[in-house]
Amino acid sequence: METTSEQVGAAGGNGPSLTREQFLSAYHDMLLIRRFEEKAGQLYGMGLIGGFCHLYIGQEAVVVGLQMCLKDGDKLITSYRDHGQMLVAGMTPRGVMAELTGRATGYSHGKGGSMHMFSREKNFYGGHGIVGAQVALGIGLAFANKYRGTDEVAVAYFGDGAAGQGQVYESFNLAALHKLPCIFVIENNKYGMGTAIERASASHDLYKNGEPWGIPGQQVDGMDVAAVHAAAAEAVAHCRAGKGPYILEMMTYRYRGHSMSDPAKYRTREEVDQVRKTRDPIEHVKHILLDAGVEEATLKALETEIKAVVNDSAEFAQTSPEPDPSELYTDVVLEA
């Protein structure tokens, strides 16, 4: 397909337009996350993935739009809903899926599972299972950037359910005090586990939670990759210029339960279906591309390619060896 750098229109009318290549790239990355997560859900149902498994289906535009604004050396850290962040950071579907199934070829050698894998090479500093704990670690990454005199930023993702944690506010304070280049990304999917945000937080505008420390923030349509990109570009520029931290509240929505074990009875099927039909981030970009003259056959070929990559990752994960029992004693204590 012949490509062009012409602007093809802002999604939802928010923020500057993206080029057709950027929309195609975003479509690819969001679709990869969606199909990967669907496959992970299937493997979980087959008993091939154990423990907890939190899927990112519906929230793809957040991490994809933000990642488009980052560069090599920028650092990421997030909670346990982490597979999407891993994939856009450049971690391979094979390595991520192998870790989900507890295999030796996984990123944490089969010992971390869904919630605890890392890649120093890709500057991905983990999914973390303790609610809000990664935020304090995130400002540590930002402090390291500033200490080393780079213009690199750290991105700390957390959900609306973690937004009221004390350590989050302590992190806001320290980040503002030392002007740390940290972007706090609140993925507000409306339900912290199973409690609606209106019932859990007296603050309904979470992007304003940093105001006591003078931290600027924006509330963003997290289902619109162009809007996410525009807001992220502003936040990244703010941090790189040495102006301190920035808060982005991404208004998004997860289609599945909090985890695979959550029946999601706290919301109606009609509510979920309505979001799928009217706000799906992938379908939205697909329509933009079709309107821009991209042939449907091109998009179908892309989906076929992604399906093959995901199926390959599942096959690799199922045929990889389990960790040797001796791995129980590695990465636990450093003998000095």
Closest CA to 208 of 177, 172, 232: 172
Q: Are 163 and 33 in contact (CB under 8 A)?
A: no
Rounded Cα distance, 302 and 296, in Å: 10
Rounded Cα distance, 210 and 172, in Å: 6
Rounded Cα distance, 228 and 63, in Å: 9
Rounded Cα distance, 36 and 179, in Å: 37
pLDDT digits (tens, 9 = 90+) for 151-205: 999 999 999 999 999 999 999 999 999 999 999 999 999 999 999 999 999 999 9
Rounded Cα distance, 142 and 238, in Å: 14
Rounded Cα distance, 68 and 212, in Å: 30
DSSP assignment letter at 119: B
> What does pTM read for this prediction?
0.93
Q: What is the pLDDT of residue 333?
A: 81
Q: Is the dihedral of CA 213, 219, 222, 224 positive or negative?
A: negative
Digit-by-digit pLDDT tens for the chain (336 residues) are: 333 445 555 444 444 579 999 999 999 999 999 999 999 999 999 999 999 999 999 999 999 999 999 999 999 999 999 999 999 999 999 999 999 999 999 999 999 999 999 999 999 999 999 999 999 999 999 999 999 999 999 999 999 999 999 999 999 999 999 999 999 999 999 999 999 999 999 999 999 999 999 999 999 999 999 999 999 999 999 999 999 999 999 999 999 999 998 989 999 999 999 999 999 999 999 999 999 999 999 999 999 999 999 999 999 999 999 999 988 888 888 777
Closest CA to 214 of 186, 185, 238, 188: 238
Rounded Cα distance, 84 and 58, in Å: 11
Q: Please report, to the nearest 10 degrees, the dihedral formed by the alpha carbons of residues 111, 114, 118, 121 taken in order.
A: 110
Q: What is the pLDDT of residue 116?
A: 95
SS3 221: strand
Question: 152 — phi, psi (to 5°)?
Answer: -75, 150
Closest CA to 109 of 52, 75, 42, 101: 101
CB atoms within 10 A of CB 312: 13
Q: What is the pLDDT of residue 67?
A: 98
CA distances from residue 110 to 33, 73, 84, 106, 330 in whole angstroms, order as listed: 21, 26, 19, 5, 12
